[in-house]
């Protein structure tokens, strides 16, 4: 990774002048995308997401054909289709035939799938210049072993495969679908049990999750995501993906309080700040080149932390897009309208210690709340509604990724540094 620093100089004589600098991990430019491999998990449970005989919301039937076609057209490359359950197999016929078999549920094998092996196989097959896309329900399978008590085996085996692999970037997208309950398998492993004896036999379950995972060299995955080909997802998260380079700068307006801003020098002169008279300033961000997924990371104020910690409680952050900001009564809107900035971070300081040398606003790729909310601790003898938007043992998988690619470093750091009196 290369580190980009944006600095400017100042010759202000006032002692409380702070200069804004930007530190960002940005992807190193690499070769272009050479290939995309799509892997569809074809275990028995996956058939429940494309039941063509029962009316309902089954997005996988159209989602995969659209995504494959859009990738082929956007990147002008020929993608490959694979099925994967106990092992991966390249699909030998036309894509049109594959999509027909997908919609009819005929592409699914009925074999069991040990999820940790599926992930390991797909990641191992992701070579230089290629991106792999895995579509799976993420239902853990340990064969005859009780997955609830032994699920940590999935985490440890997958983690062992990931650890040290810093050249891998990952994104996961969650979708919601109807599901044909005939094919539901819980952690007691219903394989071999007559269909009429399985849980939710002949019932349609609502809002069952399935997932699209994207793997590849971080730069390539970032480029792929920036095209926003993968759409209409319910939730998403990334691991080990740098942000694309963006323009950042101070704006003269809008502001409030006893401060003065010089955008040309990226400086703020702080005259006086106290609880009764707080100060607000505006930092512009140009996020046009970022994917929707990574924009969401930067636009969520919960992903920001303020340092030093002792001043964090005296500062709040609000993030706005350009249209929202222009609705406000502000001075010189033409500057904002003509700028390249698409979004704006507005810190408000409610108190200020003139001895503070630096103030940091750090954005971290914190693990999304939906991952915790999606995880289901058990799926035996529970109601249909308790299964909605939940996947039993989902964190058996995600814990391996969050441990291998912890978000310890800030994706973006905005720093206000006190300038020496000159």
For residue 351, pLDDT beyond 50:
yes
For residue 25, pLDDT beyond 80:
no
Distances (CA, A) of 256 to 285, 351, 417: 20, 14, 20
pLDDT at position 45: 87
Token pair in block for residue 126: 């992701």
Pairwise CA distance, residues 364 & 370, whole Å: 16
pLDDT at position 213: 98
pLDDT at position 110: 72
pLDDT at position 148: 82
Average pLDDT over residues 83-94: 92
Report pLDDT digits (tens) over 280-301: 999 999 999 999 999 999 999 9
Q: pLDDT-derived band of residue 6, with 50, 70 and 90 as boundaries? A: very low
H or E stretch covering 19: strand 17-26
For residue 191, pLDDT beyond 70:
no
pLDDT at position 5: 32
For residue 17, pLDDT beyond 90:
yes
pLDDT at position 387: 95
Query: Does residue 4 or residue 340 have the better pLDDT?
Result: 340
Average pLDDT over residues 357-364: 96
Q: pLDDT-derived band of residue 86, with 50, 70 and 90 as boundaries? A: confident
DSSP helix/strand/coil, 84? strand
For residue 166, pLDDT beyond 90:
no
Pairwise CA distance, residues 183 & 2, whole Å: 48
pLDDT at position 3: 34
DSSP helix/strand/coil, 143? coil
Token pair in block for residue 249: 């700068």
Average pLDDT over residues 406-421: 91
C-beta separation of 141 from 120 below 8 A: no
Pairwise CA distance, residues 347 & 168, whole Å: 34
Q: pLDDT-derived band of residue 141, with 50, 70 and 90 as boundaries? A: confident
pLDDT at position 29: 62
For residue 27, pLDDT beyond 90:
no
Lowest-pLDDT range of 46-55, 228-237, 249-258? 46-55
Pairwise CA distance, residues 269 & 165, whole Å: 45
pLDDT at position 164: 81
**pLDDT-above-70 percentage for the chain:** 94
For residue 278, pLDDT beyond 60:
yes
pLDDT at position 399: 96
Average pLDDT over residues 313-330: 94
pLDDT at position 264: 95
For residue 276, pLDDT beyond 50:
yes
pLDDT at position 353: 85
Strand order in the sheet with 315-321: 248-256, 279-285, 343-349, 315-321
pLDDT at position 37: 97
For residue 185, pLDDT beyond 50:
yes
Residue 6's nearest CA partner among 358, 219, 265, 305 is 265
Q: pLDDT-derived band of residue 347, with 50, 70 and 90 as boundaries? A: very high
**pLDDT-above-90 percentage for the chain:** 70
Pairwise CA distance, residues 179 & 59, whole Å: 11
Pairwise CA distance, residues 181 & 103, whole Å: 17
pLDDT at position 11: 38
pLDDT at position 89: 94
């Amino acid at each position: 990774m290369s580190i980009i620093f944006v600095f400017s100089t100042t010759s202000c004589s006032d002692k409380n002048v702070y200069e804004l600098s930007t530190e960002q991990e940005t992807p190193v430019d690499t070769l272009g995308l050479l290939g995309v491999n799509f892997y569809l998990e074809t275990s028995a449970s996956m058939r429940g997401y494309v039941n063509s005989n029962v009316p309902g919301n089954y997005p996988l039937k159209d989602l995969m054909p659209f995504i494959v076609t859009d990738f082929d057209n956007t990147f002008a490359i020929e993608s490959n289709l694979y099925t994967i359950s106990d092992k991966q197999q390249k699909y030998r016929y036309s894509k049109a035939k594959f999509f027909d078999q997908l919609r009819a549920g005929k592409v699914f094998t009925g074999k069991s799938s040990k999820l940790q092996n599926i992930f390991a196989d797909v990641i191992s097959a992701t070579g230089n210049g290629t991106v792999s896309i895995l579509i799976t329900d993420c239902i853990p399978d340990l064969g005859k072993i009780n997955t609830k008590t032994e699920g940590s085996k999935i985490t440890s085996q997958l983690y062992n495969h990931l650890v040290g692999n810093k050249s891998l970037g990952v994104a996961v997208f969650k979708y919601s679908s109807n599901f044909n309950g005939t094919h539901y398998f819980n952690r007691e492993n219903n394989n071999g049990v007559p269909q009429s004896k399985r849980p939710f036999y002949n019932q349609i379950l609502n809002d069952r999750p399935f997932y699209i995972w994207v793997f590849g060299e971080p730069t390539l995955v970032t480029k792929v995501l920036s095209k926003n080909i993968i759409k209409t997802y319910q939730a998403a998260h990334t691991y080990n993906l740098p942000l694309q380079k963006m323009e950042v700068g101070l704006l003269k307006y809008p502001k409030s309080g006893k401060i003065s801003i010089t955008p040309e020098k990226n400086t703020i002169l702080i005259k006086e700040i106290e609880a009764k008279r707080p100060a607000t300033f505006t930092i512009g961000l140009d996020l046009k080149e970022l994917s929707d997924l990574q924009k969401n990371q930067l636009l969520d104020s919960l992903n920001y932390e303020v340092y030093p910690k002792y001043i964090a409680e005296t500062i709040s952050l609000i993030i706005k897009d350009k249209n929202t900001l222009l609705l406000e009564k502000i001075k010189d809107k033409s500057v904002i309208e003509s700028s390249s900035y698409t979004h704006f971070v507005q810190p408000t300081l409610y108190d200020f210690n003139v001895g503070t040398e630096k103030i940091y606003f750090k954005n971290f790729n914190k693990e999304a709340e939906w991952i915790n909310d999606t995880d289901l601790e058990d799926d035996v003898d529970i109601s249909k509604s308790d299964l909605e938007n939940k996947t039993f043992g989902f964190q058996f998988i995600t814990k391996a990724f969050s441990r291998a690619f912890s978000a310890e470093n800030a994706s973006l750091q905005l720093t206000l540094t006190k300038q020496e009196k000159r």
